[in-house]
Amino acid sequence: MAYHLQGHYKGKSKLKIYSKIEPDKLILSLLRRKDISEYRTDIGPDEEYLQVSGRFLKKNTKVKAHKHIPTDRKTDITQEAWLVLEGAIKSVFYDLDDSILYETNISAGDCVVLFRGGHSLEVLEEDTVFYEFKTGPYYGVDADKKAINE
């Protein structure tokens, strides 16, 4: 499989999976709960549209009040992130040519950010709970999804 471990943060790390077809294209990044530290860990690079980070926050930590400046951003790609709250899922990630690139189980506290390629999931534990975040707007399933023949 064409993937490698990249990005060490104070002894912790995240997994980045790149395409076999176009090796400069990041398919996904995965940050495991066990690898989250008190330091902010950006799960994806700055140039991607979906920005996600992980960090343990201690009691009385404060973030100064702020708001984000309107910025014109244009994209034709849908990116998404999954955050498992409880339980576990088996995930299969597909390369740009729809071939299987990487498979893993994602458990409570783990976060995966999907930048391109395809994906599927199978719930492994009863009452699994996860959040899914995507870039928008959403125009409906017919405009948003294309099936991959497994």
Q: What is the CATH number of the domain that holds 30?
A: 2.60.120
Local structure of residue 111 (DSSP, 8 states): E
Quick check: is 59 in a domain?
Answer: no
Within a domain: residue 23?
Answer: yes
Q: pLDDT tens per residue, the chain (150 residues)? A: 445 444 433 444 689 999 999 999 999 999 999 988 888 888 889 999 999 989 889 999 999 999 999 999 888 899 999 999 999 999 999 999 999 999 999 999 999 999 999 999 999 999 999 999 999 888 888 888 999 986
- For residue 89, the model assigns a pLDDT of 98
CA torsion, ordered 90, 94, 98, 101, to nearest 10 deg: -110
- Establish if 114 belongs to a structural domain: yes
- Joined tokens for residue 61: 């930590």
Classify residue 66: in a domain, yes or no: no
Distances (CA, A) of 45 to 16, 29, 108, 123, 143: 10, 9, 23, 28, 27
Give start and end residues of each alpha helix (H) in the chain: 141-144
Identify the domain containing residue 28 by its residue range. 3-54+77-136
* Domain assignment of residue 100, yes or no: yes
Does residue 35 lie within any of the structural domains?
yes
69 domain-assigned? no
Distance CA 104, CA 14 (A): 14
Number of structural domains (the chain) is 1
**What pLDDT does residue 5 have?**
42
How many C-beta neighbours within 10 Å does residue 82 have?
20
- Domain membership flag for residue 70: no
Q: Are 84 and 106 in contact (CB under 8 A)?
A: yes
Query: pTM of the entire structure?
Result: 0.86
